[in-house]
């Protein structure tokens, strides 16, 4: 027997410290207005030095649990989508599980960078469909301030934060209608963190050459995102016999206004239906979708029965699409 799946509740957390474009421009050769007009970013949040990815995940998870009126003991599975784990081992999900006081549920991480939440949502949905679990807590959490070279222009793109969602069986109107995941490993070098893994273990060489910070080919990110996502959106809509005009809300990953506006143009989905918060938080990688979702949900902008499109593209390349009836 299979079960329909819905999002029961959402939650989020962002650090207090705000870093503006103007402050970054004091140390990096960039223009604050260009950043805003091109990327849509004005500010980003920066976690405290002793504030970890699992700490931010904890606060987002607690908010989602409170909004669902659930106790952690009721959760059947915990997944954390992150590319900035607390440690290489154990998983950040296991650390989060310990902080939440949960001991009898599977917990693991998913590393798909900016596509992480959609990948996690697909895994959870499949397990609920199969009857293996009844619900799950998904958290997208990132601390990109620790893997950013603040002397480089790439420092303008990212921020820290966490978003969470609880998924469960659905017997009513609300359900996930379709989900599709994709990957193309030929593009792996276009966004990567060279140091810290088995290829380049931590060493003086890694630190002195900032190999522990991310490298990004911005043009490749733009070209890939604006190519693969419109095609994936069309395939997903065709699979459930829907049209672009049926979409009420788009909850996208937050790469830049430029990427998202090109996707809107190619898919004929009005830009007004795209929900963004990169103006305040920049790109929070695996946390973007659950952060935007919680913000939109908290403002009660999504009504019961609305059709919601989620899209993301990330390092790897990885990308994915989900369409839900709220």
Query: What is the SS3 assignment for 104?
Result: coil
| Cβ-based neighbour number of residue 27 at 10 Å | 11
Catalytic, out of 114, 135, 249, 277: 114
96 neighbors 54 (Cβ within 8 angstroms): yes
Sign of CA dihedral 250, 255, 257, 263: negative
What does the alpha-carbon distance between residue 42 and residue 32 come to, in Å, rounded to a whole number? Answer: 8
What does the alpha-carbon distance between residue 75 and residue 9 come to, in Å, rounded to a whole number? Answer: 13
**Residue 43 known to be catalytic:** no
What does the alpha-carbon distance between residue 321 and residue 313 come to, in Å, rounded to a whole number? Answer: 9
Instruction: Give me the half-sphere count of Cα atoms (radius 13 Å) on the Cβ side of residue 61.
Output: 31
**Residue 280 known to be catalytic:** no
**Residue 171 known to be catalytic:** no
Q: Where are the alpha helices (DSSP H) in the chain?
A: 21-24, 32-39, 53-68, 92-100, 116-130, 204-208, 218-239, 257-267, 278-281, 288-298
What does the alpha-carbon distance between residue 225 and residue 1 come to, in Å, rounded to a whole number? Answer: 37
Catalytic, out of 253, 275, 277, 297: 253
Q: Is 161 left (phi over 0), alpha (psi -120 to 50) or beta?
A: left
Q: Residue 292 has which token pair?
A: 């935007």
Catalytic, out of 21, 122, 283, 297: 283
What is the Cα gyration radius of the chain?
19
Catalytic residue IDs: 114, 253, 283
């Amino acid at each position: 027997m299979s079960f329909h799946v819905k999002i029961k509740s959402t939650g989020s957390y962002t650090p207090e410290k705000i870093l503006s474009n103007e402050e970054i421009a004091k140390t990096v050769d960039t223009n604050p207005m260009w950043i805003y007009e091109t990327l849509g970013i004005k500010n980003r949040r920066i976690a405290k030095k002793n504030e970890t990815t699992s700490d931010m995940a904890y606060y987002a998870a607690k908010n989602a649990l409170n909004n669902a009126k659930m106790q952690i003991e009721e959760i059947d599975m915990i997944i954390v989508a992150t590319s900035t784990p607390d440690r290489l081992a154990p998983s950040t999900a296991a650390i989060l599980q310990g902080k939440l006081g949960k001991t009898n549920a599977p917990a693991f991480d998913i590393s798909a960078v900016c596509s992480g939440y959609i990948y996690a949502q697909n895994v959870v949905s499949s397990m609920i469909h199969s009857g293996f679990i009844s619900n799950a807590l998904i958290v997208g959490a990132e601390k990109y301030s620790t893997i950013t070279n603040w002397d480089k222009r790439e420092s303008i793109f990212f921020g820290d934060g966490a978003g969470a969602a609880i998924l469960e069986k659905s017997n009513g109107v609300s359900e996930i209608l379709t989900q599709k995941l994709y990957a193309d490993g030929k593009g792996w070098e276009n966004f990567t963190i060279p140091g810290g893994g088995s290829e380049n273990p931590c060493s003086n060489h890694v630190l002195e050459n900032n190999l522990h910070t991310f490298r990004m080919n911005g043009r490749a990110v733009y070209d890939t995102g604006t190519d693969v996502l419109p095609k994936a959106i069309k395939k997903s809509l065709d699979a459930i016999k829907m049209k672009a005009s049926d979409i009420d809300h788009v909850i996208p990953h937050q790469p830049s206004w430029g990427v998202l506006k090109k996707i809107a143009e190619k898919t004929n989905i009005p830009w007004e239906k795209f929900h963004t918060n990169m103006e305040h938080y920049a790109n929070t990688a695996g946390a973007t979708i659950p952060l935007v979702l919680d913000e939109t949900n908290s403002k009660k902008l999504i009504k019961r029965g609305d059709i919601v499109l989620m899209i993301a593209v990330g390092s790897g390349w990885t990308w994915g699409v989900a369409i839900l009836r709220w």
